[in-house]
Each structure stands twice: as C-alpha cells, then as structure tokens.
Amino acid sequence: MQGFMDRLANVLGVFANKINNLRYIMVIKNAFAALIPVIITGAFGTLFSAMVFDSENGLAKIKALRFLENLKPISSSISYVTLSFLTIYVVFLIGIELAKLNKISGVFPGVIAVMSYLSVNPMMFEFLNGDVTVIAENVLAKQYTDTKGLFLGMFISIVSIELYSWLGRQKRLQIKMPDSVPGNVSASFSALFPTILTVTTIATAGFAIKSLTGMYLYDIIYNVVQRPLEGIVQGLPGILLLMFIAQIFWVIGIHGNQMVKPIREPLLLAAIAVNTEAIEAGKEAPNIITMPFWDMYMSMGGSGVTIGLLIAIMIVGKREDMRQITKLSLAPGIFNINEPVIFGMPIMLNPILAIPFIITPLVTGTIGYFATSLGFAAKAVVMVPWPMPPIVNAYLATAGDIGAVLTQVVCIVVAILIYLPFVVVMNRTTSEIA
C-alpha cells in the first residue's frame, strides 16, 4: 500500500508542479490573492448595511438608534466601489503580474490591460423608461465592471499584455531619446508605439467580432464559458468534485487549495460578490455555493474539516504522539490552519486517516448545501476572512443567521463521528507504521 501511495505521489507531484508553473495560472492566483482585502472590505460594507444601518432588520430599527439609517449611504458606497468594480481591479492586477513575468516593471501594463478591456465593451446602454427606449451614451454598464465580466477581463488582460510585451521588444518600435532626457520620460516614449498598437489591435478585434457575429465579446465569453462554469460549480456535484480533487492532492503532500485555486477563486469569489450586491440592493441572494460556503461547511479547522479529527483524538485517542500533536495543533486549528495536522499527524500518505480526510468535507458540504437549499440556513452574503473561527464565520457570513450556525455545529459533530472509528484504528498501530 505504501509503495502504491509513493508512486501516486510521484506521478501527481509532477503534474502539480507543471500546473503550478503555468504562467497564466500564477498571475491569476496572485491577482485574486491581492484582491481579498477589496472583497472583504465590500462584504463588511454590506454587513454593516444589513446589521447596523437597516431600519427593518438592523440596529436602526431600535427607535433610539434610528439615526443610524441616515448613515447607510456610507456602507452602500463602500460596497459599490469594491464589488461593482471587481473585474476592473482583476484586469489591472493581472496586467501588472503578467508584465512582471515578462520583465516589465511598474504599473503601466495594468493601465494597458484596463484600456484594452474597456475598448471591447459597448459605451452605450439601452433601458426602458415606461414605454420609451432610452439610449445612454458614453457610459459603461455595470455587468462589464462587476463579476459577470471576470472571464472576459482575464482573457483580454492576458492577450493585451502578451501583445504589448512582444511589441515592446521590437527595436523598430522603440523611440530613442537623448541621454539628457529623464529616465521616466524616455520610458514613456519607448512605450508609445506598443501602447497605440496594442489598444488599437484589441479594439479592432472586438469591433470585427461584433460586426461578424452581432454579439460583443462579453456576450460570447459570458454565455459560452463563464455561465456554464458557474452552473457546474453552483451544483452540488461540481463543488464536491472540486473538493475531492483538492483533498487528493493534500493526501500526497501537495497544497490542494492552491491546485484548485485558479478555478475556485474566480467562480466562488464572484458568487459571493453577487450575493453581497443583491442584499445591498434589497434583493434575495441567488447563490448557495460561494467562497464562505466552502469555508463554513467544507473547511472548518482547515482542509478535511480536521477540527473533527482533533476533537475525536481528544475523546478516544490513546497514542501519546497523536495526542501531543493534537495539543500543538488545536490553537492554529481554531483559526483554520491545519498544516501541523496534515504533515505532523500525519494525514499525508497515511492510508488510514486519508480516507476520512477525503470523505468528511464531501459529507459536511452536502449537509450545508441541503440545509441552505431547504431554507434552514441562510445563504452567505458576506465574505469573511478564511482564518475566522468556526461558528463566528457562519454567523458573520450569513449576516447573523442562527440556522447557519446550527448547521455548522451539526457538520462539526458529523465530522467527529466520521473520524472516530479511524482514530480507534490508529490507536492499534504504532507511530512507526503511521
């Protein structure tokens, strides 16, 4: 068994290294990692809007605190400038990150990426005012800046920066300035022709596609790529498959979350942003599966819901080495950091503990999904930091829903019950065998 696990680890390890070293995977991961504070800021704007400034459900419903309702525009503006412009921020950051890989420093490539993305989207918006169709010109509709434009934004950002970088290496396009000219001015002139050609090429391609198909690039990418992927991940089988893949990589010693991050982050972060915007607008949140859903029901105490393992060891564990590791791992585990458990227990390459480690988040995720779909638990509407302890994160992510808290408690109990028999089996082994 150990020999098979070693061979599997070698094969998947080579595959994982190749995936992680793909340049576009790297820049997407880095861009979304940098955006976490933006998303959380917007989410807490919504949290305050719903729990403090709202006159029907928040503190403002108390007569003595009714003045808080007048402060709601503050939280609304925070949500708007963060979540409603998420695609623009993603495009900008991907442009900078990809340019770094192409040995181009500075933030100007981010500007190139944003200009290129905006150039392929319509600058007019049609809407009905009663029975009359009104056309607003020189405006950018919200769907091109919020999460609906993410995949087109990532694509245009990558294409534009690769083109800009290639053009910048062409000697014939570089304008040489005298040595007396300051370096920043000289660099600006060197970027002149690559900038003009890049934006013009992208804008022309967007125009040609619209002329040939009758659809903007946004419509094509969103309907053909982004919406189907969102549909897959919003279904229970899709999110369970994503978690299963992550857990398999963890078991062989590879950071599973990092492996699925390029797929998970754009879709699940977009889903929570949509929920947050819906609540801010007074509508019902549409998405069950979001980034907080993953953290609340499928990653309590860290990947594998190992808070269940730690408690199970405290209840029936007899091996001194496992109990010592549990004592050391309990504090970080409360904050969803469980590398000490995965690599110290170990769970990695351990066929006994690997089974519940893979199974548990699939079971708890299923419980959380059905509890939410049946209306017992509220949908997550606030993006909370992933180190937020269990119970607290469920309460905050759902803007104070007790049903979500109770569901999370049930998931933790179920996790303990799943891990218990495997801990009993581990009691009969020696630390050398484990």
* pLDDT tier for residue 257 given thresholds of 50, 70 and 90: confident
**Residue 64 located in a structural domain:** yes
Model confidence over 195-248: pLDDT tens digits? 999 999 999 999 999 999 888 888 888 888 777 877 788 889 999 998 998 898
The count of other CB atoms within 10 Å of the CB of residue 351 is 12
Predicted local confidence at residue 431, as pLDDT: 46
What percent of the chain is helix, strand and coil (3-state, nearest 5)? 70, 5, 25
**CA–CA gap between residue 118 and residue 359 (Å, rounded):** 44
**CA–CA gap between residue 407 and residue 399 (Å, rounded):** 15
Q: Are residues 171 and 221 in the same domain?
A: yes
Q: In whole numbers, what is the pLDDT of the chain averaged over residues?
A: 84
**CA–CA gap between residue 92 and residue 36 (Å, rounded):** 15
Q: Which region among 93-97, 109-113, 132-136 has the lowest average model confidence (pLDDT)?
A: 132-136
The boundaries of the domain holding residue 292 are 235-426
Model confidence over 356-378: pLDDT tens digits? 999 999 999 999 999 999 999 99
Q: Which of 215, 232, 249 is the C-terminal boundary of a domain?
A: 232
Average pLDDT estimate for 158-165: 95
**CA–CA gap between residue 117 and residue 138 (Å, rounded):** 16
Q: Give me the residues paired with residue 127 across strands.
A: 134
Average pLDDT estimate for 385-408: 90
**Residue 431 located in a structural domain:** no
Q: Could you give the 3-state DSSP secondary structure of residue 162?
A: helix
Predicted structure pTM score: 0.73
Q: Are residues 179 and 149 in the same domain?
A: yes
* pLDDT tier for residue 432 given thresholds of 50, 70 and 90: very low
H or E stretch at 70 = none
User: How is 346-385 classified by DSSP, letter by letter?
Assistant: T-TT-HHHHHHHHHHHHHHHHHHHHHHHTTSSPPP-S---
**Residue 17 located in a structural domain:** no
Q: Are residues 122 and 37 in the same domain?
A: yes
Average pLDDT estimate for 173-198: 73
Q: Which region among 12-21, 96-105, 248-257, 385-394 has the lowest average model confidence (pLDDT)?
A: 12-21
Q: Which of 198, 217, 232 is the C-terminal boundary of a domain?
A: 232
Predicted local confidence at residue 182, as pLDDT: 62
State the residue for tokens 């062409």.
170
**Residue 16 located in a structural domain:** no
Q: Are residues 240 and 326 in the same domain?
A: yes
- Spatial CB neighbours of 348, under 8 Å, sequence gap ≥ 6: 250, 251, 252, 253, 342
**Between 385 and 313, the higher pLDDT residue:** 313
Q: Are residues 161 and 267 in the same domain?
A: no
**Residue 173 located in a structural domain:** yes
Do 210 and 216 contact (CB within 8 A), yes or no?
Answer: yes
Q: Are residues 211 and 257 in the same domain?
A: no
Q: Which of 232, 254, 269 is the C-terminal boundary of a domain?
A: 232
Is 269 buried (19+), middle (13-18) or exposed (0-12) by CB count in 10 A?
buried
Average pLDDT estimate for 274-290: 86
